[in-house]
Amino acid sequence: KLTDGLDTKVDEAGLRFSGGERHRLALARVLLKNTPIVLLDEPTVGLDPITEQAVINMFIKELSGKTLIWITHHLQGIDQMDQVIFIEDGQINMQGTPEKLWQTEPRYRELKKADLGL
């Protein structure tokens, strides 16, 4: 949608773009790398809920077959993960599939409900 399409200059540190646009550009760079393991630290921070879910869905789809380590404080998209590990005070507090954690961990259910605003 930019005037020069993909040839549009991004300026120093991408300042011509909003914070959200710069964030999405950084995430796009991750997709261009062909690595077997992808580590993302708070990749959706600052995104609105609709964009956040779209980014999560895109990463899950595009990185299928790769090891994805997703570090976050926000539980949006957690149900799409194969394995979840909660670390609190430097210790593993909970670990398992989202389904198992929902069934067996009252703290997990509490966190999920809080994240959903319930």
Q: What is the pLDDT of residue 15?
A: 64
Which tens digits make up the pLDDT trace of 75-105?
Answer: 888 888 999 999 999 999 999 999 999 999 9
C-alpha Rg value of the chain to the nearest Å? 17
Residue 77, domain CATH: 3.40.50.300
Q: CB-hemisphere CA count at 13 Å for 80?
A: 17
Report pTM.
Answer: 0.71
Which residue range forms the structural domain that includes residue 24?
Answer: 5-115
Contact present, 41 and 73 (Cβ < 8 Å): no
CB contact set of 18 (below 8 Å; sequence gap of 6+): none
Which tens digits make up the pLDDT trace of 8-19?
Answer: 777 665 666 776
- Token readout for 94 is 């909970």
- Token readout for 52 is 């956040």
CB contact set of 4 (below 8 Å; sequence gap of 6+): none
Which residues are bridge partners to 52 per DSSP? none
Which tens digits make up the pLDDT trace of 46-59?
Answer: 788 888 888 888 88
Number of domains in the chain: 1
CB contact set of 110 (below 8 Å; sequence gap of 6+): none
